[in-house]
Amino acid sequence: MSSKNRLRRTMMFLSTQRAGSIRDAYIYAPDSIIFDLEDAVAVSEKDSARVALYHVLKYVDYKGIERLVRINGADTPFWKEDIRASVAAGCDGIRIPKCETPHDVEIVEEQVINAEKEFNRPIGSTLLQVAIETPLGVRNAYELSMASERIFGIAIGAGDFMRSMHARRRDDGAELYAARAQLVLAARAAGVQCYDTVHTKVKDYEGLERDTQLIYDMGFDGKSVIHPSQIPIIHKVFTPTAQEIEKAQKIISKLSNEAKEGVGVFMVGEDMIDVAMLEGAKRIMALAEAAGAYKGE
């Protein structure tokens, strides 16, 4: 069973239409894999892709990497069978595309519960991720985040969002800043994770690093990926530096010691520190440990 709060710096999309390419995807070491039954699969191949996905999920060992499935939208004839096959095969979670209202989540959760019962899966074992891809979805981001206890995170999908906004791509990300800010605010208020959209220029590594640094600084938990070469760059940005680790250690240690003496504010180097910074310091240490940059208590 996948944890709602596990590390998800990278979530790599894979087309289930190409069965040969999805069996060994764990070698690229993303934190999560999203098997795509939606946009990456031609209408004529939906059924065969679903069958291939079932066998891959059922019989391939992904070495602990989280396995999510992006199902087709509820406005198609495919989504219910997508859920049945995914749950039957033991996927970790379902990504719901183009969510705009809590009802979009509720109808998927109902089908997930039915599938868990039908295939004797533990009730509640299939998590949900909400994909927000329209202006209405952005406006309802908090309500969507709270629509089910199964929801572990929300994600922005820039392609459809930008089309509906009549926006154009910019190198500095200004066209997405308002939506990104609203999503991360909603996620933090709801207590769920928040993920950024893909960087579509696969070989633009400099732009990817710049984009990832922006969303990391904004407080996002991770970013979607469309090519394995993007994974190390994103993991690098989400890995704290030695200086950040050292500072976080000092904050945690100082807060523990100073709290015993009744001191609420103190200095670490040139920075004034108080108890409000403890959560951030613990997150830095959790990221460092997960990335292998820190081994210790």
- What does the pLDDT look like over 181-195, one tens digit per residue? 999 999 999 999 999
* Predicted local confidence at residue 280, as pLDDT: 83
DSSP secondary structure code for residue 258 in this structure: H
What domains does the chain contain, in order, with CATH numbers? 10-237 (3.20.20.60), 242-290 (no CATH)
Whether residue 266 is predicted with pLDDT greater than 70 in this model: the reply is no
> How far, in Å, are 31, 89, 145 from residue 188 at the CA level?
21, 32, 10
Cα(96)–Cα(91) distance, rounded to whole angstroms?
A: 14
CA atoms within 13 A on the CB side of 276: 3
* Predicted local confidence at residue 173, as pLDDT: 87
* Predicted local confidence at residue 188, as pLDDT: 96
- Dihedral, CA of residue 35, residue 154, residue 107 and residue 14, to nearest 10: -10
- What does the pLDDT look like over 50-59, one tens digit per residue? 999 999 999 9
Whether residue 268 is predicted with pLDDT greater than 80 in this model: the reply is no
pLDDT confidence band for 293 (50 / 70 / 90): confident
Q: Which residues contact 291 (CB under 8 A, 6 or more apart)?
A: 235, 238, 239, 240
What the block records as the tokens of 228 is: 């394995």
In a 10 Å sphere around its CB, with 0-12 CB exposed, 13-18 middle and 19+ buried, how is residue 100 labelled? middle
DSSP secondary structure code for residue 44 in this structure: G
Higher pLDDT: 140 or 285? It is: 140
pLDDT confidence band for 180 (50 / 70 / 90): very high
* Predicted local confidence at residue 193, as pLDDT: 97
- What does the pLDDT look like over 218-258, one tens digit per residue? 999 999 999 999 999 999 999 998 998 988 888 888 777 76
- What does the pLDDT look like over 95-105, one tens digit per residue? 999 999 999 99
* Predicted local confidence at residue 290, as pLDDT: 80
Helix or strand (DSSP H, E) at 280: helix 278-290
Write the single-letter amino acid at 175: E
**Helix, strand, coil % (nearest 5) of the chain?**
50, 15, 35
Percent of the chain's residues with pLDDT above 70: 91
pTM for the full predicted model: 0.90
Beta strands 127-132 and 222-225 are: unpaired
- What does the pLDDT look like over 183-228, one tens digit per residue? 999 999 999 999 999 999 999 999 999 999 999 999 999 999 999 9
